[in-house]
DNA sequence: GGTTAGGATTAG
């Protein structure tokens, strides 16, 4: 059995077949019955004092390949049906006297992606030199607590450079520079107090102090410095050595650093604590971003705390803003506008709204908007100036980062704000502001207001939350939700093509055949045929203008004498134009042709029924051939359904189908208007099929929703109910979106 | 198997 992954280590327990007994590594001996046992490598190594808690496991064949692709260091694994052998390396590695071998025939392995810091294999031993024992011009491995660092920045040479300073229990501080072309190889550092392990660094003396520089074969691994938090190695490297002694070293450094004044005095600053003029580090979440010019990007962020000073709002055109609207948070003085300059653009450009961020050395500045009077109070703006002095910079934080736990719990309390950010009251709906070019490249101002009204109205009773399109895309179907979006594009652009024929039986959907195709069917049916002669029908014929073509009308004898006898007429030998003219005077005309004098329906490419200005089509796949012995009794009023039933035709329904490309500040999304189309336009599809006025009405509405040649700002916002669902497409689940429960308001 | 930087504020 191949290696399988589960999402949670607790799921491993459910995977254990009932005939297997859980056993611990320590209790494994050469005489253990392996076929009835399984091992879950779950114990926290820090809690263990007993000997032989680690065991080598050797994988063979495809299992080895599968395992190496599925498992990462630190994963919890469950092994079963292994072979127990004597460990040849026991004397050397001091691990378990046995080793487990898995050859892949009947064995199975489950791997949990949750990292519980368990060592899978121990490969090599490293020695680490205390920082006060470093000798010049040697290559060493060291551990240290980071007391200062800069995010990697481009050097004047060919590489990025990380500059940091570390210390350890010896209290000696050592500077360290790391050069690498690849950003991902640089140490992942979030804050002062993080712990770093350096392998193969060269020592040298610089300005009377020891310094470290990466040299061939170098690597770095970093850890969060919080005491009692899990020891999770941070590295981009796929293979690295990490064992119990590393965990111990990290724990010891954490403990030591926690009592040092330089770290315990490091107060975390939230927006509520910011004073004008301060330089500080800010942990926050990105709400929206906008490129201001080639040297400046605006990041709108929040940390859930309210600033004591009024915050400056930087206005940008809504189409230049990526991310959700911040109107409500702006009003509550929760949104910090951060202007990010110069060298930091490289990082800022890649950030996506929703990301958690860490700013380093952010500058809070009181500023007056250009149009503000001198007597009005100034507002607080935030600048991440160019350069890297004082470690100035920014980086995204992974969502699971321990540094984010308190931020997340504060943001949770604002969950209503996040969801209802775009106001529900229909008055203040969006800020949009395009600065006139003449004034300059951008302007600052405070609470601009403009109003746009929704054109569509949701009719559903759901009390679901309004989501951004980006959130909808991240959601798992099935789901109903509300969105506010503009129509970027729609298909078909030729709106008559949105009228479709749909078979409710086989779910086939077809375009309505165009007149030239239908006319051809009529011409070919009328060619060289003699009027049909059916016992059940009364027939009258007339010559057409064309020689050799006879037009015949047939009425069921069953109906003669009944009030319905003129309601259903079979007609033969006409052109399409002629039957269209005739259908003005007769309620139901069924075009037929003669095959060996027997009455037969035309090819179902043509309508099987003309009824006033409407034409009805039958499904080619589902229609039964019961026309040989039609029954016409017992029907009071003939409509398309009764006719279809009598003829054994599967009636196709008219439907309207439009595909919208919706857009909001966060994303675009393709949504169908399908089951809800008639309600949306207040137009029935079958009526639209025969009415130019109704088709014009649809066109007018579409021109309002998406005015031809309009810019994005000119398009109205639509308040929509969306249904998110999945369909099987080539055996793969595809997520689809449909507009439901929504109508266009009629003024 | 070179060089880069070697902390120490923008000035919008």
Task: Please report the pLDDT score of residue A482 as a whole number.
Answer: 83
Asked if the Cβ of residue A440 lies within 7 A of any atom of strand B, the reply is: no
**Would the pLDDT of A125 be above 50?**
yes
How confident is the model over A580-609, as pLDDT tens digits?
Answer: 888 888 888 999 998 888 888 898 999 999
Q: Check residues A154 and A241 and name the one with the higher pLDDT.
A: A154
How confident is the model over A268-282, as pLDDT tens digits?
Answer: 899 999 999 999 999
How far is C-alpha A280 from the chain's CA centre?
Answer: 33
The mean pLDDT of A659-670, rounded to a whole number, is 86
Task: Please report the pLDDT score of residue A735 as a whole number.
Answer: 87
Q: What's the CA gap between A388 and A390, in Å, rounded?
A: 6
- Nucleotide at minimal C1' distance from the A155 CA: B4
Task: Please report the pLDDT score of residue A580 as a whole number.
Answer: 86
Q: Check residues A235 and A478 and name the one with the higher pLDDT.
A: A235
Asked if the Cβ of residue A147 lies within 7 A of any atom of strand B, the reply is: yes
Asked if the Cβ of residue A204 lies within 7 A of any atom of strand B, the reply is: yes
Asked if the Cβ of residue A296 lies within 7 A of any atom of strand B, the reply is: yes
The mean pLDDT of A393-403, rounded to a whole number, is 92
Task: Please report the pLDDT score of residue A31 as a whole number.
Answer: 58
What is the sign, positive or negative, of the torsion defined by CA atoms of A58, A61, A65, A67?
A: negative
Asked if the Cβ of residue A49 lies within 7 A of any atom of strand B, the reply is: no
Is the overall model pTM greater than 0.85, yes or no?
Answer: no
Task: Please report the pLDDT score of residue A443 as a whole number.
Answer: 30
The mean pLDDT of A26-36, rounded to a whole number, is 59
Asked if the Cβ of residue A175 lies within 7 A of any atom of strand B, the reply is: yes
Confidence class for position A75, pLDDT limits 50, 70, 90: low
Task: Please report the pLDDT score of residue A530 as a whole number.
Answer: 80
Asked if the Cβ of residue A92 lies within 7 A of any atom of strand B, the reply is: no
How confident is the model over A200-224, as pLDDT tens digits?
Answer: 999 999 999 999 999 999 999 999 9
Asked if the Cβ of residue A179 lies within 7 A of any atom of strand B, the reply is: yes
Task: Please report the pLDDT score of residue A217 as a whole number.
Answer: 93
Q: Check residues A395 and A542 and name the one with the higher pLDDT.
A: A395
CA of A198 to C1' of B1 (A): 20
Task: Please report the pLDDT score of residue A619 as a whole number.
Answer: 94
Closest CA to A311 of A211, A380, A382: A380
**Would the pLDDT of A678 be above 80?**
yes
What radius of gyration, in Å, describes the C-alpha atoms of chain A?
Answer: 38
Q: What's the CA gap between A85 and A157, in Å, rounded?
A: 54
Asked if the Cβ of residue A202 lies within 7 A of any atom of strand B, the reply is: no
CA of A425 to C1' of B6 (A): 58
Asked if the Cβ of residue A387 lies within 7 A of any atom of strand B, the reply is: yes
DSSP-assigned beta bridge partners for residue A364: A382
CA of A295 to C1' of B10 (A): 13
CA of A257 to C1' of B4 (A): 31
CA of A258 to C1' of B3 (A): 38
The token pair that represents A432 in the structure block: 């949009």
CA of A299 to C1' of B12 (A): 15
Q: Check residues A85 and A602 and name the one with the higher pLDDT.
A: A602
Confidence class for position A433, pLDDT limits 50, 70, 90: very low
Task: Please report the pLDDT score of residue A256 as a whole number.
Answer: 97
Q: What's the CA gap between A529 and A290, in Å, rounded?
A: 73
Task: Please report the pLDDT score of residue A583 as a whole number.
Answer: 86
Q: What's the CA gap between A605 and A593, in Å, rounded?
A: 14
Q: What's the CA gap between A747 and A743, in Å, rounded?
A: 12
Asked if the Cβ of residue A368 lies within 7 A of any atom of strand B, the reply is: no
Asked if the Cβ of residue A735 lies within 7 A of any atom of strand B, the reply is: no
Task: Please report the pLDDT score of residue A431 as a whole number.
Answer: 27
Asked if the Cβ of residue A392 lies within 7 A of any atom of strand B, the reply is: yes
Give chain A's mean pLDDT: 81
How confident is the model over A299-318, as pLDDT tens digits?
Answer: 999 999 999 999 999 988 87
CA of A84 to C1' of B2 (A): 53
**Would the pLDDT of A351 be above 60?**
yes
How confident is the model over A324-347, as pLDDT tens digits?
Answer: 888 889 989 999 999 999 999 999
CA of A157 to C1' of B12 (A): 27
Asked if the Cβ of residue A386 lies within 7 A of any atom of strand B, the reply is: yes
**Would the pLDDT of A127 be above 70?**
yes
Which of the residue ranges A203-217, A262-276, A610-624, A676-690 has the most confident prediction, judged by mean pLDDT? A203-217
Residue nearest to nucleotide B7 (CA to C1'): A390
The token pair that represents A553 in the structure block: 């009308």
- Nucleotide at minimal C1' distance from the A176 CA: B6
Helix (H) or strand (E) holding A250: helix A244-258
Asked if the Cβ of residue A126 lies within 7 A of any atom of strand B, the reply is: no
Confidence class for position A24, pLDDT limits 50, 70, 90: low
Asked if the Cβ of residue A420 lies within 7 A of any atom of strand B, the reply is: no
Task: Please report the pLDDT score of residue A69 as a whole number.
Answer: 61
Confidence class for position A435, pLDDT limits 50, 70, 90: very low
Exposed/middle/buried for residue A365 (C-beta within 10 Å: 0-12, 13-18, 19+):
middle
Task: Please report the pLDDT score of residue A271 as a whole number.
Answer: 97
CA of A663 to C1' of B3 (A): 48
Residue A452 sits at φ, ψ, to 5 deg, of -130, 145
Asked if the Cβ of residue A433 lies within 7 A of any atom of strand B, the reply is: no
Residue nearest to nucleotide B6 (CA to C1'): A206
**Would the pLDDT of A730 be above 60?**
yes
- Nucleotide at minimal C1' distance from the A150 CA: B7
**Would the pLDDT of A104 be above 70?**
no
- Nucleotide at minimal C1' distance from the A154 CA: B4
Asked if the Cβ of residue A344 lies within 7 A of any atom of strand B, the reply is: no
Asked if the Cβ of residue A157 lies within 7 A of any atom of strand B, the reply is: yes
Confidence class for position A138, pLDDT limits 50, 70, 90: very high
**Would the pLDDT of A79 be above 50?**
yes
Q: What's the CA gap between A649 and A642, in Å, rounded?
A: 10
Range scoring the smallest mean pLDDT among A60-64, A172-176, A345-349, A518-522:
A60-64
**Would the pLDDT of A73 be above 60?**
no
CA of A634 to C1' of B5 (A): 98
**Would the pLDDT of A149 be above 90?**
yes
Task: Please report the pLDDT score of residue A414 as a whole number.
Answer: 79
* Strand B: positions under 7 A of a protein C-beta atom: 1-12
Residues above pLDDT 70, as percent of chain A: 76
Closest CA to A485 of A638, A679, A291, A660: A660
Asked if the Cβ of residue A266 lies within 7 A of any atom of strand B, the reply is: no
Task: Please report the pLDDT score of residue A382 as a whole number.
Answer: 98
Asked if the Cβ of residue A714 lies within 7 A of any atom of strand B, the reply is: no
CA of A158 to C1' of B5 (A): 13
Confidence class for position A460, pLDDT limits 50, 70, 90: confident
Asked if the Cβ of residue A361 lies within 7 A of any atom of strand B, the reply is: yes
DSSP alpha helix (H) spans, A182-229: none
Asked if the Cβ of residue A211 lies within 7 A of any atom of strand B, the reply is: yes
CA of A176 to C1' of B6 (A): 8
CA of A201 to C1' of B9 (A): 30
CA of A275 to C1' of B12 (A): 20
CA of A584 to C1' of B12 (A): 76
Task: Please report the pLDDT score of residue A422 as a whole number.
Answer: 41
Long-range CB contacts (within 8 A, 24+) of A522-529: A522/A574, A522/A575, A522/A576, A522/A579, A522/A591, A522/A602, A522/A606, A523/A575, A525/A572, A525/A573, A525/A591, A525/A593, A525/A602, A525/A603, A525/A606, A526/A572, A526/A573, A526/A574, A526/A575, A526/A593, A529/A572, A529/A573, A529/A593, A529/A594
The token pair that represents A217 in the structure block: 């074969």
Range scoring the smallest mean pLDDT among A168-177, A473-482, A501-510, A638-647:
A473-482
Asked if the Cβ of residue A345 lies within 7 A of any atom of strand B, the reply is: no
CA of A2 to C1' of B5 (A): 50
Task: Please report the pLDDT score of residue A424 as a whole number.
Answer: 36
């Amino acid at each position: 059995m191949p290696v399988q992954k589960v999402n949670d280590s607790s799921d491993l327990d459910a995977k254990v077949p009932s005939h297997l007994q859980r056993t611990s590594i320590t209790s494994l001996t050469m005489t253990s019955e392996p076929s009835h046992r399984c091992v879950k490598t779950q114990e926290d190594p820090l809690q263990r004092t007993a000997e032989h808690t680690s065991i080598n496991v050797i994988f063979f064949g495809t299992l080895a390949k599968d395992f190496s692709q599925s498992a990462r260091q630190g994963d919890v694994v469950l092994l079963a049906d292994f072979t127990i052998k004597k460990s040849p390396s026991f004397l050397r590695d001091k691990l378990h006297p046995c080793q487990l071998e898995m050859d892949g025939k009947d064995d199975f392995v489950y791997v949990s992606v949750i990292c519980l810091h368990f060592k899978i294999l121990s490969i090599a031993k490293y020695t680490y030199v205390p920082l006060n024992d470093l000798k010049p011009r040697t290559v060493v491995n060291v551990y240290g607590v980071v007391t200062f660092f800069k995010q990697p920045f481009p050097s004047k040479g060919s590489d990025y450079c990380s500059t940091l300073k570390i210390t350890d229990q010896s209290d000696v501080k050592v500077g360290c520079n790391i050069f690498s072309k690849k950003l991902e190889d640089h140490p992942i550092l979030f804050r002062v107090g993080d712990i770093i392990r350096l392998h193969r660094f060269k020592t040298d003396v610089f300005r009377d102090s020891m310094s470290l520089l990466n040299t061939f074969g170098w690597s770095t691994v970093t850890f969060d410095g919080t005491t009692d938090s899990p020891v999770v190695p941070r590295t981009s490297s796929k293979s690295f050595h990490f064992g119990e002694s590393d965990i111990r070293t990290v724990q010891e450094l954490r403990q030591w650093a926690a009592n040092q004044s330089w770290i315990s005095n490091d107060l975390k600053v939230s927006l509520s604590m910011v004073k004008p003029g301060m330089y500080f580090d800010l942990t926050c979440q990105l709400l929206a971003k906008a490129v201001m010019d080639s040297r400046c990007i605006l990041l709108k962020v929040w940390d859930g705390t309210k600033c004591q000073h009024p915050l400056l709002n930087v206005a940008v055109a809504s189409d230049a803003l990526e991310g959700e609207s911040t109107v409500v948070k702006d009003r509550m003085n929760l949104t910090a506008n951060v202007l990010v300059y110069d060298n930091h653009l490289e990082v800022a450009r890649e950030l996506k709204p929703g990301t958690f961020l860490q700013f380093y050395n952010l500058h809070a500045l009181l500023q007056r908007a250009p149009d503000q009077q001198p007597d009005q109070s100034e507002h607080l703006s935030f600048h991440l100036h160019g350069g890297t002095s004082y470690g100035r910079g920014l980086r995204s934080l992974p969502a699971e980062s321990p540094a984010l736990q308190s931020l997340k719990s504060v943001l949770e309390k604002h969950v209503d704000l996040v969801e209802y950010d775009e106001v529900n009251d229909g008055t203040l709906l969006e800020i949009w502001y395009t600065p006139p070019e003449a004034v300059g490249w951008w302007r600052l101002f405070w609470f601009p207001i403009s109003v746009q009204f929704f054109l569509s109205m949701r009719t559903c009773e759901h009390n679901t939350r309004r989501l951004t399109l980006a959130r909808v895309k991240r959601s798992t179907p099935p789901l109903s939700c509300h969105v506010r979006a503009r129509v970027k594009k729609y298909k078909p652009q030729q709106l008559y093509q949105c009228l479709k024929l749909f078979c409710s039986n086989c779910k086939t959907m077809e375009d309505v055949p165009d007149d030239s195709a239908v006319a051809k069917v009529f011409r070919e049916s009328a060619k060289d045929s003699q009027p049909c002669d059916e016992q059940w029908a009364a027939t009258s014929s007339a010559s057409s203008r064309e020689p050799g073509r006879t037009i015949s009308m047939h009425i069921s004898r069953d109906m003669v004498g009944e009030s319905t006898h003129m309601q259903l007429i079979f007609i033969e030998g006409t052109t399409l134009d002629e039957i269209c003219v005739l259908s003005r005077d007769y309620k139901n005309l069924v075009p037929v042709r003669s095959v060996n004098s027997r009455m037969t329906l035309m090819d179902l490419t043509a309508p099987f029924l003309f009824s006033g200005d409407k034409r009805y089509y039958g499904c080619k796949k589902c229609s039964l051939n019961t026309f040989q012995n039609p029954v016409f009794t017992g029907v009071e009023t003939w409509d398309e359904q009764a006719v279809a039933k009598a003829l054994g035709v599967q009636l196709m329904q008219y439907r309207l189908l439009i595909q919208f490309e919706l857009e909001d500040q966060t994303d675009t999304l393709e949504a169908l208007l399908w089951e809800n189309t008639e309600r949306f336009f207040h137009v029935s599809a079958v009526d639209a099929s025969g009415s130019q006025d109704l088709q014009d009405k649809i066109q007018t509405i579409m021109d309002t929703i998406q005015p031809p040649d309009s810019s994005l700002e000119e398009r109205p916002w639509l308040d929509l109910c969306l249904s998110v669902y999945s369909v099987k497409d080539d055996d793969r689940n595809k997520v689809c979106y449909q507009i439901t429960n929504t109508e266009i308001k009629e003024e």
